[in-house]
Structure 1
Amino acid sequence: MSSSEIPKSLLKGYLLLANVLNSVKIEKLLVPPIVQSGSKDLVLDCQYSVSDGPLTVQWWFNGGVAPVYEWTPPLMPRVKGILEGRLDLSYKVSQSPIEQYRAMRIIQVDPQLSGAYTCVVVNNNGVKSQETKSMQVLAPEKEFELLFEHKFNRLVEVTCYVNSVHPQPDLTVEYNNKPISQQTQRSWRRNNLLYDVESTAQLTVPVCSDRIEVTCRLHLPQADYTAIKKRLLHFGPVQCNHGWKDNPDNIIITLALIIILIVK
């Protein structure tokens, strides 16, 4: 019987059975969105369901030209690129012969591992399933300084500095809970992808203020991380002559005394 003579219902059944036998599906991809630099034993897991038969599991990093991790049972996994020397290749996430090396155990995390991770599972018939998730490695500041330098009269230069942070930071000097308008931010990136950042602002201190509070705000938008440094700047005792123009209440009081004298 030719294929043209096969009933449509039976043909659909054959196709459905073939799809089931050849099926491969990623059920869950476990990649944390944010992880702290220096973390140890981080596991990235790719959970899948497949029909019986040979398969290959691949992990790709940032859409590279080749997988950084590849495992075809019963062979041992192969590692290259940025993950070379960073994985515990003895780690087994399962005892199943077709799942035991599906996950990657990273020995120690650093900012260079920030990026998009794609898991690809391919069966012997070339049917594949893939999914991608991104991971951002957070490196909090090692130093956080807020310094003052008195220029002249009541002009003060405020400098805020942080070093060894990741991802790219935003550093803002604030006064009265608002960013100071006249400020400059500079940043330097090290070979290990960590950033050093400096923000400098000019602030004119209000007359008669004996002290002010200045805030420096560090924000890492991609890691949803914020740190704040505050300092008080003291000027010592301040003598202020409140004339009529500076204090309207004095005018009212003086006028009242004049009126009283006239009445008497």
Structure 2
Amino acid sequence: MDHRTGSFGYVGMLLFSLFAVLPVVKSLEILDIEGPGVVVNGSTSQIVLDCDYDITEFDKPGLVVKWYFNRQPFPVYQWIPSKVPQDLGILKGRLNLNYEVSEDQFSKHRALAIVNPTTDLTGEYTCLISSFESEAYKRKNLIIYAPAEDLSMTYSKPREDNVIITCRAGGIFPAPNIAIFRSSSSSKEFIESAKVESQLHPEYGYYNISIEIEVSDYELDSETMFECVLTIPGTEYRVQEKILYFPGHLTTPTPEEVEPEDVEELLEEMENIENDQSLEEEGDGGNSRPHTAESVSSAERVLSSLSFLSVLASLHLLFLH
């Protein structure tokens, strides 16, 4: 056997034996970032994002905990176990620096305790821990959303044979999604051609959004339900509004065609409508908002007929004179 080969084999076995008995040093590890992912604006006075990690004795002397917002290069929070925590950047003055997640001196201030969280703190949070030996990081998304302050759905008829359906929402954050569906007795259809407009008001921190479609009456069934659906991505927030549309044009009779019994029927119809509305308000307990409109509704027929009554009254006075 070659002397050099034998020497190398002996040294190799010695090194293998040495590494086999040395302890394996475990590096820093972040187990999880615990805390809510979705919060309603104004619903809580404090939220906590806890960066739960494992460290070894080798890591403790040089341990530093930092938090970053939306991957910006400068931290918004820093804690070194031998010093007091620091709030920085967008979180300056917005953290509870006395919050302790545990009594352990190397983990008690690892968490972010955000006081009175608002929508501007929606974003991605990164926890980074480092020591003289290694470092580790983990990210978490937080959405602080504001529900829509209002949602309304209306229609108008620019011509006799078509209709414009409009849905509007305001005071919502972050940027929402909005869609319109139409349904009949046989089907429900998502309308892809709808026109959507969204506007951010940075001075107030919310969005206004609207959606609009124009449809010809001949494309619709005798009764068509339009539904507006508003959602916020990343959350379970969802609200909808509906409007019932009857295609057609309201014809107007001339004064000569109005008989006395027709006037009596109109007055009875007005009284019935008021009674029905009173019953609906009592049944809803005053909490429901208007959600249905008709292009040829009883209310519209009465409003249109009021002009006829005015004409009749004028004619009656004319004959008296």
State TM-score, norm by structure 1: 0.77
Question: Residue type matched to 1:61 in 2?
Answer: F
- How many residues are paired up? 229
Specify whether residues 96 and 231 from structure 1 end up closer, same or farther in structure 2 by C-alpha distance, changes over 3 A only.
same
Q: Which runs of 5+ in 1 are unaligned?
A: 238-264
- Please tell me whether residue 84 in structure 1 is matched to residue 92 in structure 2: yes
Q: Output the CA distance in 2 between the equivalents of 1:59 and 1:207.
A: 56
* CA pair 96-110 structure 1, distance change in 2 beyond 3 A: same
Letter in 1 for 2:233: P
- Alignment-derived partner of residue 153 in structure 1: 160
Q: Give the drift of 1:236.
A: 4.2
Q: 1:29 aligns with which of 18, 27, 33?
A: 33
Q: 1:92, 1:101 within 8 Å by CA — same for their partners in 2? A: yes
- Cα deviation code 1:203-253 (max 9, x no counterpart): 33359977543211112233343211112332148xxxxxxxxxxxxxxxx
Which residue does 2:241 correspond to in 1?
Answer: 229
Verify the 8 A CA contact 2:36 2:47 in the aligned structure 1: no
Q: Which has the higher strand share?
A: 1
Matches within 5 A, 1:201-216: 201-206=213-218, 212-216=224-228
Shift of 1:81: 1.2
Provide closer, same or farther for how the CA distance between residues 47 and 182 of structure 1 changes in structure 2, counting only shifts above 3 A.
closer
CA distance in 1, matches of 2:43, 2:115: 8
Q: How does 1:7-46 map to 2 (within 5 A)?
A: 7-14=15-22, 16-17=23-24, 19-20=25-26, 23-40=27-44, 41-46=46-51
Q: In 2, are the aligned partners of 1:145 and 1:160 still within 8 Å (CA)?
A: yes
Shift of 1:79: 1.1
Report Cα offsets for 1:84-110 as digits up to 9, x if no partner: 122111111111111111111111222
Identity of aligned pairs, percent?
26
Give the structure, 1 or 2, with the largest relative contact order (CA under 8 Å, sep 6 or more).
1
For normalisation by structure 2, the TM-score amounts to: 0.64
Alignment partner of 1:76: what SS?
coil
Paired position in structure 1 for 2:195: 184
Q: CA deviation at 1:65?
A: 0.8
Which has the higher Rg, Structure 1 or Structure 2?
A: 2
Specify which structure has the higher proportion of helix. 2
Other-structure match for 2:71: 63
